[in-house]
Amino acid sequence: MFNRWTRQVNCDVLVIGGGLGGTFAAIKAEEAGAGKVVLVSKGKLGKDSVSTFAAGVMSVIMPGDDFEAEFRNYALGEWSGAGIYDPAWLKIAMEENYDRVRDMESYGVQWARKPDGQIERRAARGVVLKGTFMKPFMDAMANKVRSTSVEVAGHIMLTGLLTENGQTSGRVVGAVGFDTRTGDFCVFKARAVVMAAGGCSFKPRFAGCSMSTGDGYTLPYRAGAKMGSFELGHFHQMSAAAFDTAGMNLFVALGGHFINARGERFMQDYFPNLVEFADLTSVSQASAMEMRAGRTPVYLDMTHFPPASVNRIRTALRSPTKALERMGIMVGDKIVSPIEYAPCFRGTYSMGGGIVTDIECATSLPGLYAVGDSRCRPEQEPAALAGAAVTGARAGIFAARFAKESGDVEIDRGQLEELEGFTFAPMERQDGIEPDHIITENLETIVPYEVVLIARGERLEKALKEVRRIQREEVSILYASDLHYLRMAHEAANILLTTEMYLNSYLTRKESRRACFREDYPYTDNINWLRNTRLKLEKGEMQIWTEELPYDSLPLKPERTKRLHPIFEVARRKGIPWG
Amino acid sequence: MGIRKVNYERCTGCATCVEECPMDVIRLDRSINKDEMPPCQAACPAGMSMRDYIYLVVQRRFEEAAALVRNTLVLPGVTGRVCFHPCEEDCARRKVDEAVNIRSLERFVTDYALESAPGPVPKLHNEKIAVVGSGPCGLAAASELARKGYPVTVFEALPVLGGMLRAGIPEYRLPRDVLEREIDSVIELGVKTLTSTPVCDLESLFATGYKAVLLAIGAAKSRNLAIPGEDATGVAYGLDFLRDFNLGKGSRLEGKVAVIGGGNVAVDAARLALRTGASQVTIIYRRSRAEMPAIKEEVKEALAEGVRTKFLAAPVQITRENGGLCVTCTRMKLGKKGADGRRQPEPVPDSEFDITADRVIIAAGEEAEVPSKWGLKLKRGAITTDPTTLATSRRGVFAGGDAVTGPGYVIQAIASGKKAAAGINCYLRGEQPGFEEARRVNKPPLKGVDKKARNTAAHLGIAERRNQAEVEAGFSPEMALKEADRCMACGSKAFIKYLRDCMTCFLCEIDCPEEAIYVSPERERRKPLPW
Ligand SMILES: Cc1cc2nc3c(=O)[nH]c(=O)nc-3n(C[C@H](O)[C@H](O)[C@H](O)COP(=O)(O)OP(=O)(O)OC[C@H]3O[C@@H](n4cnc5c(N)ncnc54)[C@H](O)[C@@H]3O)c2cc1C
Ligand SMILES: Cc1cc2nc3c(=O)[nH]c(=O)nc-3n(C[C@H](O)[C@H](O)[C@H](O)COP(=O)(O)OP(=O)(O)OC[C@H]3O[C@@H](n4cnc5c(N)ncnc54)[C@H](O)[C@@H]3O)c2cc1C
Ligand code: SF4
């Protein structure tokens, strides 16, 4: 229907993504005098990111907090690094966290406050101290961006990175994609690029994240960037079984608790200290164990909430409130029935693998910086929103510096042509496989709880084989009847490639640690596995390897022991079979 | 299972949901109320469907957009430059920020896609039709009739075609190559033209076989001021000044020029005077700037170019003294609103003052000049016609354009020419003219539309305006795309196009300013649960 048009924009810093990370990067790059900053995102700025739907709590470490104790928590805590951490990063993340909170405040983000005016914090997942937003904060971030000279380009799906001379692993000089409304082929030439395209949600049955499809991983991967730690995320979320809702963090923070089919508060067995505050991956693993024991379904019970708590949900969580009301669960200022919950494979956002960076957010490709969920963050910093804010600001500043100090760039015509072909290929085909089919197949491969929730080598291998088959036989002939499906086609391809990175990394880690939960290797093995997985595209193949942590230089040293993964430990005590 | 319903009673098509849905589930249905006219179209005398051609621009289908424009309208290259754009006055976007720059978009598509004009049409009828006058009214009628398959001949008294487009409107607003190109597109339909051929009597037309005659003779007789000294040397009428110059007979001016009047002729005469050597030009007008009937943008440009103004001043006498001229004026004040809605000027007693000038140009209005021997019924100098068919009091004779309305605008003349063509067709075919009262969009978008600044094409720097170079540039394709994107496509509704991709985030429902959307949180069990 549309005639194809090519649109080229030249800039100093290109920011890909308009979530909390991307908006911070753009704001800070502009402040640092980067010159022309362009922010590109898939939809309308402020409305198209996972950040838009975040449950509204963010780690806030304030001056006066016991820094050392917090550092220890993050580095060694069961729920966080569990010994795998990068001390330099952790320190920066903790130190700069409060500056970003202040920035956000100056942009108009409202925090819940105590009577004395201090930001009100409560213990949330793990033991992290979190502040609560009073209102969705992305509107304020987007307005701040719009008030600067940053050029905002919305409704653009980027599909590839441009490199110097078109070479794999070369300096990144821009990106290409298409306008999802008009079909324009969009070319961005930039001296520095900030990748803030978020993580990968695999399009689960969980609201508010289906637009996050691993584009932030596959674009740099295809350009030859070094990636890593894909097995170490928090992949599982708990979500209502019959409808989509987010908001768990707040529900639990306000006192909601889980019960199993027998009405037992089973979390008390698994996490005697944290109980419902255990991270959601652990909660999902515990629920899976209850499944093995035949005590599912599980429910989230909030029927005891006082009106004030219910109203807190109302003000902080717009979407979940609608869902709860419409399902007849929230009536006025009461929650009238427990909600059936189930683990939900929700992907790599918040924490997990991504592009490996140094402390300046620089990646292995000169000119490319990585932020937030696109960055490799194996649960070591105050992650998710706080991490996106800290890395966003850093990447903005350092990308601006790089853009100022480096020379002008040129686009390789051959690469441009190749990427244009790649971008529109699904629409050029007359027939083929629909994106939705591939996404469903992928979910069917990885979601059953005995694939990744309680894993085993053979089952992981089988899943990996299937994912590779889908890529070979189906992704290669993805079909898009129009521009909407063209976006969906690229998303499907990116999801599948991310799944491959994930399963391949999972198979490589031969132990159980956090989200890595293997019946065949049930021990957390600090003797052999204080290592990170790394991967990279080389000669058309996914190369995967591990790198040892510099144990001797770690300020806090994890004990060189081998212990049963805590959930297996509880399951053993409770007599639930595994192995 | 996600977004369920858009309530069309409430939806205004503001596109908030279309813009915001992160999953790109919702699109605008632009065809839903196709028979309802958006305000721009309703305001256009020629009924141009801006919404449709602008959407073609949005889709980068420039040729098709141009073809659509030319299908409704002759001379879009002209109206794209000089139209007084009543469409923009009524554009619903004005309530959000500023009107869409419709005129520049029209100009862009027609300049971009020159090949889009329709070609010759086979002759289907043999009734010959005479069109008297080659202004926009005559050309529009000739084009319509030729496209219906009639043999048409245009008679023009002047040696060139185009009427006021050629003789009145100066080149810096309407380059002659553009005008020529537009007139050629009419001739290419097979219309015959005879220049330097004034029609003096209508009988001889009928006698030579013409079955119908359209009088599109314009309103070219300058009104005088009826004040002493009006005939002094150095005093000229605006239309004569413009015509002489435009037809290559003008000479350079020198010294100070006073222009009397506040209409398009006055403003163009003033701007042309500056371009042809005048050292200083002053417009003398009875009322104030707000009441000037000239097109607002042109007044603005004239002032920017250095034209001076003397408002609330009415000349009472012109005298010649020591080689120059002296215009004596009475000061005026604005009184009550008159029948035309403008405040009427009233003289201030004993307030006379003089303005000296080397040349005086009078542009105090024009009227039609209809030979009495044509035997037509007239009203205040203009030809009276039936409002639907434009038939005059004489059988087989029709009239349109300025000759009927008095001085008006190009688009009105074109619309009138189209109407007359339809009237002539009905007359010759013995049909009754049909009535079509189109419904209007009753609730254009208002809330929830993001502000986007209007795009304006570049204008020549003031210092460069010393010749006939076109003052306003056209849009670049990029600008046109940006501006086209501002059109709200009034009358459209949101529709759920990609239901399968909805992720039940509720954003559309929460942000809809009209509360027109309902989202169901219930899950489609398509995607597997872990157990
Ligand atoms: C329901 C939910 C609740 C959450 N609650 C919390 C919470 O309470 N606290 C917390 O700390 N964390 C929470 N998280 C996690 C947190 O929201 C994310 O970690 C964080 O928002 C990531 O920010 P980001 O800027 O890296 O990426 P995102 O916010 O995902 O932004 C990515 C941006 O990139 C754009 N983009 C992606 N691909 C492309 C492409 N190909 N081309 C162009 N643009 C592209 C997107 O349009 C988007 O603008 C929650 C997540 C979800 C889903
Ligand atoms: C200086 C000036 C600036 C203007 N600026 C604008 C503007 O910016 N925007 C706008 O919309 N409008 C403008 N107008 C008004 C617009 O030009 C007229 O409304 C329009 O041209 C009227 O069209 P018409 O076809 O009715 O008559 P005209 O254009 O006047 O054409 C009539 C033609 O008939 C010919 N004719 C007359 N009698 C005979 C006869 N007996 N035999 C043969 N031929 C005959 C005349 O020579 C003339 O060519 C302007 C007018 C002037 C004078
Ligand atoms: S609920 Fe969310 S995903 Fe579904 S149509 Fe509305 S905005 Fe789009």
What is the distance between the alpha carbons of residues B420 and B192, in angstroms, rounded to a whole number?
18
- Residue B239 CA to ligand 2 center (angstroms) comes to 10
Of A48, A182, A484, the CB nearest to B498: A484
Q: Report the residue of B57, B62, B478, B527 to disrupt the A interface, i.e. the one with the largest count of A CBs within 10 Å.
A: B527
Mean pLDDT of B122-137: 95
What percentage of chain B's residues is helix, strand, coil (to nearest 5)? 35, 20, 45
Nearest to A423 by CA among A91, A223, A177: A177
Which residue type, as a one-letter code, is found at position A69? A
Pick the ligand that lies closest to the CA of residue B412: 2
Task: Give the pLDDT confidence score for residue B524 in this predicted structure.
Answer: 58
- Residue A234 CA to ligand 1 center (angstroms) comes to 14
Ligand 1 neighbours, Cβ below 6 Å, are A 16-22, 40-43, 48-51, 53-58, 156-158, 177, 196-198, 208-209, 211-212, 215, 246, 249, 349-350, 371-373, 384-385, 388
Chain B residue closest to A48 (CA)?
A: B22
- Sign of dihedral through CA atoms A385, A387, A389, A392? negative
- A443 interfacial to chain B (CB closer than 8 Å): yes
Closest approach atom of ligand 1 to CA A49: 48
- Give the distance from residue B23's alpha carbon to the nearest chain A alpha carbon, in angstroms: 6
What is the distance between the alpha carbons of residues A465 and B497, in angstroms, rounded to a whole number?
35
Task: Encode pLDDT of A168-226 as tens digits.
Answer: 999 999 999 999 999 999 999 999 999 999 999 998 877 788 999 999 999 999 999 99
Task: Give the pLDDT confidence score for residue B267 in this predicted structure.
Answer: 97
- B57 interfacial to chain A (CB closer than 8 Å): no
Question: Angle, nearest 10°, between helix axes A566-574 and A280-292?
Answer: 30
Output the tens digit of pLDDT for each of chain A's 579 residues: 567 899 999 999 999 999 999 999 999 999 999 999 999 999 999 999 999 988 777 888 888 888 898 888 888 877 666 788 889 998 999 999 999 999 999 999 988 888 888 888 876 555 566 777 767 899 999 999 999 999 999 999 999 999 999 999 999 999 999 999 999 999 999 999 999 999 999 988 777 889 999 999 999 999 999 999 999 877 888 888 888 777 887 898 889 999 999 999 999 999 898 888 888 888 999 999 999 999 989 999 999 999 999 999 998 888 889 889 988 999 999 999 999 998 888 888 888 899 999 999 999 999 999 999 999 988 666 678 999 999 999 999 999 999 999 989 999 999 999 999 999 999 999 999 999 999 999 999 998 889 999 999 999 999 999 999 999 999 999 999 999 999 999 999 999 999 999 999 999 999 999 889 999 999 999 999 999 999 999 999 999 999 999 999 999 999 999 999 999 999 999 999 988
Ligand 2 contact via B471 beta carbon (within 6 Å): no
- B498 interfacial to chain A (CB closer than 8 Å): yes
- Residue A540 CA to ligand 1 center (angstroms) comes to 29
Contact A245 B521 (CB under 8 A): yes
Chain A residue closest to B506 (CA)?
A: A319
- Residue A405 CA to ligand 1 center (angstroms) comes to 30
Pick the ligand that lies closest to the CA of residue A323: 3
Closest approach atom of ligand 2 to CA B138: 25
A349 with A340: CB under 8 angstroms? no
Contacts of A187 by beta carbon, 8 Å cutoff, 6+ apart = A6, A7, A8, A9, A162, A174, A176, A411, A416
- Residue B112 is encoded by which pair of tokens? 């971009």
Dmax of chain B from CA atoms? 107
Q: Catalogue all structural domains in chain B, each as residue range(s) with its CATH number.
A: 1-24+504-531 (3.30.70), 31-116+444-491 (1.10.1060), 128-220+368-429 (3.50.50.60), 225-366 (3.50.50.60)
Task: Give the pLDDT confidence score for residue B523 in this predicted structure.
Answer: 62
- B507 interfacial to chain A (CB closer than 8 Å): yes
- Give the distance from residue B35's alpha carbon to the nearest chain A alpha carbon, in angstroms: 22
- ipTM confidence: 0.92
- B523 interfacial to chain A (CB closer than 8 Å): yes
DSSP code of residue B31: S
End-to-end CA distance of chain A: 57
φ, ψ of residue B137 to 5 degrees: the values are -65, -50
- B451 interfacial to chain A (CB closer than 8 Å): no
Q: Catalogue all structural domains in chain A, each as residue range(s) with its CATH number.
A: 236-345 (3.90.700.10), 428-564 (1.20.58.100)
Number of H helices, E strands in chain A: 16, 22
